[in-house]
Chains A and B, each alone.
Chain A
Amino acid sequence: MRPSSIRGLAGPGALVLLVALVAVAAPILPLFDPVRQDVANRLAGPSALHWLGQDEYGRDVLSRIIWGARVSLTVAVVAAALAAVVGTLLGVLGGYFRGLVELFTVRVAEIVLCFPPLLLALLVVTLLGPGATTLVFSLAILFAPGFARVAYAETLSARALDYVTAQQALGARTPRILFVTLLPNIAPPLIVQFSLTVASAMVLESGLSFLGLGVVPPSPSWGLMIRGARASMELAPLLLFWPCLALTGTVLVLNLLCDRLRDVLDPRGKAAGRPGFLGRLIALPPAPEPRQAPGLLSVQGLTLAVQSAHGPIEVVRDVGFTLAAGETLAIVGESGSGKTLTGLAVMGLLPAAVTPVAGSILLTGREGRVRDLLRLPEREMRGLRGRELAMIFQDPSSSLNPLLRIGSQLGETLRAHGVRDGVRERVVALLRQVGLPDPERAAEAYPHEVSGGQRQRVMIAAAIANHPRLLIADEPTTALDVTVQAQILALLAELKRAEGGMGMVFVTHNLAVVSDIADRVLVMYAGEVVEEGRVEDVFAVPRHPYTAALIASMPEGDAERLTAIPGTVPQPWAMPAGCRFAPRCEMAIDACRAAAPPLAELAAGRLSRCLRWKEMA
């Protein structure tokens, strides 16, 4: 849970607590007896003695509001608790066992949902007679199906999770699985449902009391107060106002608590917007002077930071590389190396939490103009995406709109960049180019109707539709089977030949794929470039211990035992002071731990961030 969202919980939480405390403390507060009548002063306005005035029998309104809160809250909370227990039990059992159990629990509960709630409550109260106990039961019956539905849905998705299967594999009995493993994990939405239910139970309770079917007079209740005040509405309108204010206020506060609770309990957190162009500009210092002619793409001193409670954390630090037209550069690294963020930064698609704090990304456009993508307004950037640079992602199924036919999505891409005539023919030609077996039919298909490998082909077709000069591929084959991966890699190589001069940045964690497709390789570790060079040079004689260890840990050799790199990648907020790889490095010496080593140029285009690179051979 994040501290910021817990702070958001404090306000409404304190208010709800205040209401509850006042209600609980009613007997010890210096209040008038809520049922003592004073007919002489009936309908008297607010006074020093009676702050909120007196009602149609001269009873103190403040006292009745507070005692009424006791009744309303008790009925609402007890009813919601009862509904929660019964409903959750039904839902969990139905969701876990399915079949007949589901029929008798969840489906039966759903029948209750079909009745209009007020009508059902009326029926129950008529059958059992009015009174607080009856009210609790009828409200519980009304609200239990809501819990059953939430618990059922959550159980359905949780029962297939690995850690539930793990309990079965361990030989756990069903009750243990249900109550030790399942229930705590489905609790958050149920807690939210609970606070929602308390609020609606209060409203319904007041409604029933207003109709004379709830709390029996002269016991105070907000609904009864409204009922009483209605008769003298024209003489003393304030009498109607107070209970309504109490009811509305309490329900609002409860709903607010609900909202905040949902934010706190939802691990995904609130959706944050993207910072605008201005927001990004402010954070960025002016671009450094270009050190050399940019080629197709030149990234210089790129530093990306994530804002955290302890200030900005640099997740990518001082990354630079150049790419010539027609060249393929592989960026390789483990999770947390910053390879994907680097690719996204070039596309101008960084997640909202990540901001560039230094560096430049220079792209030479078709007409020879050099632009700094890091400082380009979003509107201009949008014009470049697709035309000058395009991207393919790891997961092709989440990158395509499931509701649109493949052909119309591709057509959209073409039209967005001004193709007007012969869109359909172009679409079919593109699909043929990326090797879809039946392009005419594929254009008419929805994304779910083709396989994962074919979806990736469609994504590639969309990326190359407008002949971009730069293609960024972020782990495009990781989600695919090896035989399909080989096909996609072959396709990308083929397209590069066909689209003469297209440069490609290929982001991957797989060294073997790098040797397959790339000319040059950039090895990243913990947000930094540690080595760069031509693929054959780097793989033949790695000049950084991390690269060497990665190659050695590939399960390809004949060695009986794999070479493992000890330890784990350091967390971004706990980077070692010196070389970031030093804690896991067999060659580390004291100098490595003292200061961060610079990126040394060993030969033209061959870089290493290791103090001892000369000793590696």
Chain B
Amino acid sequence: MKKSIVAIAVMSIGLGAAHAQEVVKLGSAAPLTGTISHLGKDLENGSRMAVDAVNAQGGADIGGKKVKFQLVGEDDQADPRTGTTVAQRLVDAGVKGVIGHLNSGTSIPASRIYDQGGVPQISPASTNPKLTQQNFKGVFRTIANDVQQGGALGTFAVKTLGATKVAIIDDRTAYGQGLADETDKAVKAAGAQVVAREFTTDKATDFNAILTKIRATNPDVIFFGGMDAQAGPMLRQLKQLGINAKFLTGDGGCSPEMIKLAGDAINSTTYCSMAGLPLDKMPGGAKFRADYKARFNGEVQLYAPYAYDAAMAIIKAMEKAGSVEPAKYLPELKKISFDGVTGNVSFDDKGDIKEGAVTMYQFKDGTWVAL
């Protein structure tokens, strides 16, 4: 009984919309409160800019009609449970596509809800490989995942830093271990040797024993897959043990916090990686920065360009399919290819971005400098 009332209500909304100009809802989900709310708002702003840009031209040309878009923004608080609640709310609101979430921890559980609701989801920020490995049909991302990042790290260690012997440490978390495994593969593929593979935990502070063991293998580069809270002290202990190898870590250690925690042990032989490109190096970066500033009177934080491309990918797929219905436009989304702000946007068969960029950073003059 309840269901049929909802169905009638939905139908009447649909009919009402058909008479006036058609407005299609897109969902945005990101943390808008809490410690990373600035990044979440940035993500939402990126999607909003895409929607505004399309609407400003009178809407998208879909199946011979002009269609305008409305962005429904939700706050997932970076919390997995709130994330699924918000996902359900978006599905119930009848959105035709979702741009979000930010954290892998919220994206992964939410993706199941979107899959059940038949709504395609593009995350502009979640990098955990698992997101696109769940065999859901409509899950994509516009940012490089940790597999791509690990590959780039391994290649960088061998090709750019010229390492022949690499030692790898990870903190046994899903993130750290995943990144270390991919780096390990890439190092071997590039023709160098992994001389030590050691392990710690995400709560440890003492690494002297494993570092001493590593010292005996005399590596050129030491890679750590983990967070800044461990990478900082680890760097200090490297120095205390007189190890001069270059130190390389992933995005977990690519933070201002890392610089603080490593103290005077950090120097120009310390490198880290981040998924994505710095704004200046994106093909459409300069224009995007100016437009963003004009619209929101602030600087781009991190994910706005990826969210912009994600929203554009959905709209372009709808145009190609001539329909706003997920079932119809999904095949087009899978094979989409266009030049976005961040570069070429096209997805592989899993839904990961094909040419996901990874940027390496080097510590210089008290900060991380993109290479």
**Bound together:** no
Q: Which residues of A contact B (CB under 8 A)?
A: none
